[in-house]
Chain A
Amino acid sequence: MLPFDIEYYRPDTIEEAVKLYRRLRENNQEPVFYGGGTELLTRARLQDVHYDAVIDLKNIPEVRIHGQKGDWLEFGAGLRLTDLADQNLWPLLTATADRIADHTTRGQITLGGNLLSTIPYREISLPFLLMDEAEALIATDNGIERRPMADLTSDSFIKPGEFLVSVRVNGGEAKGVAYRSHKMTRQDWIDYPLVTVAVIKRPDGSIRAAFSGWAGFPFVSSEVNRILSDTSRSPRRRAQQAVSHMPVKALEDLHGRREYREFVTEYTLAQILDELEDD
């Protein structure tokens, strides 16, 4: 239950939603765009966020888009994580989605909600961060803008009043890779990650890895990718090197100490590299 009053709006078009946000702001209200609600409702209950109005985006057709169009695989921001798994359009995305939260909650969390979460993990971003051609379609005052998914964690990726409509990747690229997505936790199947690692092996044999849980944001490192792709070294050696060349220090929190995160990341990477070598 929300301890404060809100207004609820469910616009039918992108334009309506953008205009509504502007109107509410002009009215000195604090609107938020609303996807699955799992984060906005729990944080509001604890009163660590406050808003006056929610703009539920789920009725906008573009936000529900899910399929292949030309070269693109398109995923609406309002898709539930279970929708991704049910259609299984992109198996790597399914593999990552299937380890977020629990099954019932995955039926409520949306793709957009997880990508733009204030909780640091945002694991569903990992497959997109691994692609050369991955872009976000963002509704702005000036219509739909395309922004690279690589900028996801930068402040300019999405500004107040804008919302994520959908994300798309090049289907050929996305499906032309071997992949693994492993979530490692402190102990429990249902938990935040110590580290989630999504790894792809591209047709040219090069390796890319994306990490969540290691730091306060998901990331890809070209230095780490270079190390992982160096097949002159053993998987174990590459994993060791990668861990010692991460662009940021590992977190130290109640899920695990820094050195333990390093240990887990290392053996997970080594195992994945081993497996991908055999693929």
Chain B
Amino acid sequence: MNIIGTSVPRKEAPNKVTGRARYTNDINVPGTFHAVMVPAHQAHAQIVSIDVDEAKKVPGVKAIITGDDVSILCGDVTEDRPPLAKDKVRYWGEPIALVVARNEAAARRAASLIKGRYKSLPVVNSIADALDKKAPLVHEKNGSYTVATPPVTPKKSSNIADEANVTKGDMDKAWKASDVKVKVHISLPQIDHAAMEPRIAKAEILADGRVLIHASTQAPFEVQKLLAKYFKLNPGQINVTAPLVGGAFGGKAGVQLEVLAYLASKAVDGQMVKIVNTREDDLATSPLGMGLEADIALGASKDGRIQAADMRFFMDIGAYTDSAPRIARAIAAQCTGPYAVANVHTDVYCVYTNHTYTTAWRGFGHMPMTFAVERAMDELAEALKMDPMDLRELNAIRPDDITPTKARLTRSNLGDLPKALTHMRQLIGWNGGRVEAVAEGKVRVQGVAAFWKTSSSPPNAVSGALITMNSDGSVNLSIGAVECGPGTKTTAAQILAEKLRIPLDRVFIHEDVNTQVDPEHWKTVASLSTYMVGRAVLDAANDLITQLMALAAAVLKCSPDDLDYGDEKIFVRDDPSIYLDFKDLALGYKYKEGDSIGGQLMGRGKFMIRHLNLLDQHTGHGRPGPAWTVGVQAVEVEYDQNTHQYRLLKAATVMDAGKVLNPAIASGQVMGGMNMGLGVASREGIFYDTEGRFLNHQFRLYKVMRMGEQPKQYLVEFIETPQVDSAYGARPIGEHAVLAIGAALANALSRAANVSLNTLPITPETIWRERRAH
């Protein structure tokens, strides 16, 4: 078969162009109640009282819940977040109450009548505010919260929720010995995922005690486990369904609305209740992507070899920790970028602020981290008077190098960055980074940046696959990974079709995930689904083939070793005219006389990540993921020296994909990723005013890229260094195209404008301001 490596369309594509693809909010049971959150309009305040009396009088209102009604604290690492603010409000937009009503209009009317009375507290409005010695505490109990998933090291009586460190070699000595040193300070705002489908959850508690959840989530099995834990239920009681997801980007990997939906249903006798974010809620109330301040120091010898890297990262995690400690460890583990650096000292801090809390965002912290490192790399190139591409090639990490956390690298687990750099020179037509005048006041310039990323997944992450056969010999595939857009389900079906040597349209894969019927899959995150699901599918396919062979061997009176398969047949290897069709084996084999053997054939497959460990608390050493994906990105821009406006001409990515399973889907992922990364770098960012009020919680003010603003040309090239333990050698590629493209843009524009652009987003005003300060 040649299904692997072929640009087959997404399985669900026809439904998506006819309006027939169904997302969570498209499937509604008549009579569903609606829950609406009441957001706080304070960033940091004691709650004096919450007046719900007027709201209760609104016809149709069935229940109003406030923080006082809820005793649990949520958090997948540190349990520090009340589902509804209790005693204290910690960010503007934090829900202080939940209204449950017969219909949405009644719930919204009532919600608008709920008034919180507050005693304002000083607002921790930045990393600097938070680290000030006299800073007010966002969490008085920091350090005393229950830790659900160690490690995490909060610092009591401070706003530091966690700290992760990595040391390698002798930083001080190497720094002193370095000939050329650069220091860069980076400042990046929080950003939003801005998935087009707002987050949504529905909950129903049945009379038999089962809890049915429908949600737009990347982590149905996490929803199941956390709800069970929070509400002391048996996980088996909780049945989570995740239909097609309308974009996620990490923002739907956390658990927030599901908890509120459950509380709401409980308050109305278990009726089905739906809670849907408005776009305003989705931005201000549900979690964002982190902001970052970083100080990067690189020391190199005269020949350009990096000797020392000294780094401090301060993550603006907002008011609650959520996944931040995991992200901090991911940043620590990959802190050098894809370069071999012998001496490293890195500290990563998760800093509480009175900003909206944050969670995973496409790339799990690697995008802001890469921005910091890659800006420092360009500054180093400048200081060395070296071509930025040459500097990267000289220092590129290679097999047999070790990572900052002392994981050993191989050709299989790393791929080939030097080759990617070589290809990029061709692809973009690299000119050495020169600023070229093209017209009066206009220059053209290129910028480059490289990335690496591994999964930073828990060492016990699992995945599974189940195959059942239909009477016609076609197969059904069941997996626990959610379809958020990248074609996860299609890729799994391709892998199965290839392995079974059947056409893709003979594999049926349903769009939803249901925790009760589908095998567990850790979470649809970290670009890991193809690796984990792929291995589970191969395992299940082998299991099914073994069963087909065994049954056929019995019928054909031979050993399974004599048999082979293809064209939906099991046949005798040296005489294919002796065969049985899959369809005659699928539901058991029926002899002419009518007696039968076998029963329905089902393939079971499982996969568990191996050889990973939690990073050592003191040295940070350990192995954070099964393999890295490396790549390089570049842009070409035209910059107007008078107005500081710029146009994106080209954006290019060369990535080591291991093996490209579906070229069209893969390049779509990469182009979309570049577009998103360029959007972030050129216009996105959350604005808070001096009171910590969230100012841009609509798409009118939180700007994302629109048609016509994308680069004139997108260039994508894959190289293929197989990851030998992955299905067909494929590496994770889903997140990676966002990682370095913003840094490439900043590198290009910094050279074009002859200033250091170390903050995002880079708007003409940013450049103008830097030029004036210059």
Decide if A and B are genuine partners.
yes
Is B706 a contact of A190 with CB atoms below 8 Å? yes
- Contacting residues, chain A, for B708 (C-beta < 8 A): 189
- Indicate with 1 or 0, residue by residue over B103-126, a CB within 8 angstroms of chain A CB atoms: 011001100100000000000000
Is A186 a contact of B112 with CB atoms below 8 Å? no
Q: Which of B28-56 contact A (CB under 8 A)?
A: none
Q: How far is the CA of A191 from the CA of B765 in the complex (A)?
A: 15
Q: Which residue in chain B gives the minimum CB-CB distance to A188? A: B703
Count of residues in B whose CB is under 8 Å from the partner chain = 26
Q: Which of B703-751 contact A (CB under 8 A)?
A: 703, 706, 708-709
Is A3 a contact of B696 with CB atoms below 8 Å? no
Q: Does A263 lie at the interface of the complex (its beta carbon under 8 Å from any beta carbon of B)?
A: yes
Q: How far is the CA of A271 from the CA of B625 in the complex (A)?
A: 55
Q: How far is the CA of A189 from the CA of B643 in the complex (A)?
A: 16
Q: How far is the CA of A4 from the CA of B764 in the complex (A)?
A: 42
- Contacting residues, chain B, for A189 (C-beta < 8 A): 706, 708-709
Is B104 a contact of A187 with CB atoms below 8 Å? no
Is B642 a contact of A267 with CB atoms below 8 Å? yes
Is B683 a contact of A254 with CB atoms below 8 Å? no
Q: Does A171 lie at the interface of the complex (its beta carbon under 8 Å from any beta carbon of B)?
A: no
Option from A5, A47, A191 in Cβ contact (under 8 Å) with B108: A47
Can you list the 8 inter-chain pairs with the closest CB atoms, starting with the nearest? A3-B108, A187-B763, A47-B112, A187-B683, A254-B687, A260-B765, A3-B105, A188-B703
Is A186 a contact of B763 with CB atoms below 8 Å? yes
A192/B765 contact (C-beta < 8 A), A2-B105, A4-B109, A47-B112 known: no
- A100 CB to nearest chain B CB (Å): 13
A191/B703 contact (C-beta < 8 A), A46-B280, A186-B763, A256-B765 known: yes
Q: Does A257 lie at the interface of the complex (its beta carbon under 8 Å from any beta carbon of B)?
A: yes
Q: Does B23 lie at the interface of the complex (its beta carbon under 8 Å from any beta carbon of A)?
A: no
Is B700 a contact of A192 with CB atoms below 8 Å? yes
Q: Does B682 lie at the interface of the complex (its beta carbon under 8 Å from any beta carbon of A)?
A: yes
A-B CB contact pairs (8 Å), 15 listed: A1-B105, A3-B104, A47-B108, A47-B109, A47-B112, A186-B703, A186-B763, A186-B765, A187-B683, A187-B703, A187-B761, A187-B763, A187-B764, A188-B706, A257-B765
- Contacting residues, chain A, for B280 (C-beta < 8 A): 46
- Indicate with 1 or 0, residue by residue over A1-41, a CB within 8 angstroms of chain B CB atoms: 11111000000000000000000000000000000000000
- Indicate with 1 or 0, residue by residue over A247-265, a CB within 8 angstroms of chain B CB atoms: 0000000101100100110
Q: Which residue in chain A gives the minimum CB-CB distance to B685? A: A254
Option from B104, B109, B682, B768 in Cβ contact (under 8 Å) with A263: B768
Is A3 a contact of B769 with CB atoms below 8 Å? no
- Contacting residues, chain B, for A256 (C-beta < 8 A): 765
Q: How far is the CA of A261 from the CA of B768 in the complex (A)?
A: 11
Q: How far is the CA of A190 from the CA of B705 in the complex (A)?
A: 10
- Indicate with 1 or 0, residue by residue over B629-642, a CB within 8 angstroms of chain A CB atoms: 00000000000001
- Contacting residues, chain A, for B682 (C-beta < 8 A): 187
Q: How far is the CA of A263 from the CA of B642 in the complex (A)?
A: 10
- B169 CB to nearest chain A CB (Å): 42
- Contacting residues, chain A, for B597 (C-beta < 8 A): none
Q: Which of A183-209 contact B (CB under 8 A)?
A: 186-192
- B116 CB to nearest chain A CB (Å): 16
Q: Which residue in chain B gives the minimum CB-CB distance to A102? A: B706
Q: How far is the CA of A188 from the CA of B105 in the complex (A)?
A: 34
- Contacting residues, chain A, for B104 (C-beta < 8 A): 1, 3
Q: Does B701 lie at the interface of the complex (its beta carbon under 8 Å from any beta carbon of A)?
A: yes
Name the prevailing secondary structure of the A interface residues. loop
Q: Does B695 lie at the interface of the complex (its beta carbon under 8 Å from any beta carbon of A)?
A: yes
- Contacting residues, chain B, for A4 (C-beta < 8 A): 105, 109
Q: How far is the CA of A263 from the CA of B104 in the complex (A)?
A: 47
- Indicate with 1 or 0, residue by residue over B279-295, a CB within 8 angstroms of chain A CB atoms: 01000000000000000
Q: How far is the CA of A191 from the CA of B646 in the complex (A)?
A: 17
Q: Which residue in chain A gives the minimum CB-CB distance to B109? A: A3
- A2 CB to nearest chain B CB (Å): 7
Q: Residues of A with Cβ closer than 8 Å to B?
A: 1-5, 45-47, 186-192, 254, 256-257, 260, 263-264, 267
- The winner among A3, A190, A260 for most chain B CB atoms within 10 A is A3
Option from A46, A188, A267 in Cβ contact (under 8 Å) with B709: A188
- Contacting residues, chain A, for B105 (C-beta < 8 A): 1-5
- Contacting residues, chain A, for B703 (C-beta < 8 A): 186-188, 191
Q: Which residue in chain B gives the minimum CB-CB distance to A261? A: B765
Q: How far is the CA of A254 from the CA of B761 in the complex (A)?
A: 13
- Contacting residues, chain B, for A260 (C-beta < 8 A): 765, 768-769
- B355 CB to nearest chain A CB (Å): 15
Q: How far is the CA of A263 from the CA of B768 in the complex (A)?
A: 9
Q: How far is the CA of A45 from the CA of B703 in the complex (A)?
A: 21
- Contacting residues, chain A, for B700 (C-beta < 8 A): 191-192
Q: How far is the CA of A45 from the CA of B706 in the complex (A)?
A: 25
- Contacting residues, chain B, for A264 (C-beta < 8 A): 643
- Contacting residues, chain A, for B701 (C-beta < 8 A): 254
- Contacting residues, chain B, for A263 (C-beta < 8 A): 768
- Contacting residues, chain B, for A190 (C-beta < 8 A): 706
Q: How far is the CA of A264 from the CA of B701 in the complex (A)?
A: 20
- Contacting residues, chain B, for A45 (C-beta < 8 A): 278
- B504 CB to nearest chain A CB (Å): 37
- A5 CB to nearest chain B CB (Å): 8
- The winner among A1, A187, A191, A263 for most chain B CB atoms within 10 A is A187
Q: How far is the CA of A85 from the CA of B764 in the complex (A)?
A: 30
- Contacting residues, chain B, for A187 (C-beta < 8 A): 682-683, 703, 761, 763-764
- Indicate with 1 or 0, residue by residue over B668-689, a CB within 8 angstroms of chain A CB atoms: 0000000000000011000100
Q: Which of B145-160 contact A (CB under 8 A)?
A: none
- B508 CB to nearest chain A CB (Å): 37
- Contacting residues, chain B, for A267 (C-beta < 8 A): 642-643
Q: Which residue in chain A gives the minimum CB-CB distance to B640? A: A267
Q: Which residue in chain A gives the minimum CB-CB distance to B764? A: A187
Q: Which residue in chain A gives the minimum CB-CB distance to B36? A: A3
- A220 CB to nearest chain B CB (Å): 25
- Contacting residues, chain A, for B709 (C-beta < 8 A): 188-189
- Indicate with 1 or 0, residue by residue over B244-274, a CB within 8 angstroms of chain A CB atoms: 0000000000000000000000000000000
- Contacting residues, chain A, for B108 (C-beta < 8 A): 3, 47
- Contacting residues, chain A, for B695 (C-beta < 8 A): 254
Q: How far is the CA of A264 from the CA of B642 in the complex (A)?
A: 10
- The winner among B280, B695, B764 for most chain A CB atoms within 10 A is B764
Apart from A1-B104, A189-B709, A254-B695: 15 A-B pairs, beta carbons within 8 A: A3-B105, A4-B105, A46-B280, A47-B108, A186-B683, A186-B703, A187-B683, A187-B703, A187-B764, A256-B765, A257-B765, A257-B769, A260-B769, A264-B643, A267-B643
- Contacting residues, chain B, for A192 (C-beta < 8 A): 700
- A16 CB to nearest chain B CB (Å): 29
- Contacting residues, chain B, for A188 (C-beta < 8 A): 683, 703, 706, 709
Q: How far is the CA of A191 from the CA of B104 in the complex (A)?
A: 30
Q: How far is the CA of A221 from the CA of B620 in the complex (A)?
A: 65
Q: How far is the CA of A264 from the CA of B682 in the complex (A)?
A: 18
- Contacting residues, chain A, for B764 (C-beta < 8 A): 186-187
Q: How far is the CA of A263 from the CA of B767 in the complex (A)?
A: 13
- Indicate with 1 or 0, residue by residue over B207-223, a CB within 8 angstroms of chain A CB atoms: 00000000000000000
- Indicate with 1 or 0, residue by residue over B745-774, a CB within 8 angstroms of chain A CB atoms: 000000000000000010111001100000
- Contacting residues, chain B, for A2 (C-beta < 8 A): 105
Is A3 a contact of B761 with CB atoms below 8 Å? no
- B641 CB to nearest chain A CB (Å): 12
- B660 CB to nearest chain A CB (Å): 34
Is A254 a contact of B765 with CB atoms below 8 Å? no
- B681 CB to nearest chain A CB (Å): 11
Q: How far is the CA of A187 from the CA of B645 in the complex (A)?
A: 8
- A142 CB to nearest chain B CB (Å): 38
- A210 CB to nearest chain B CB (Å): 21
- Indicate with 1 or 0, residue by residue over B55-87, a CB within 8 angstroms of chain A CB atoms: 000000000000000000000000000000000
Q: Which residue in chain B gives the minimum CB-CB distance to A50? A: B112
Q: Which of B610-667 contact A (CB under 8 A)?
A: 642-643
- A99 CB to nearest chain B CB (Å): 13
- B672 CB to nearest chain A CB (Å): 19
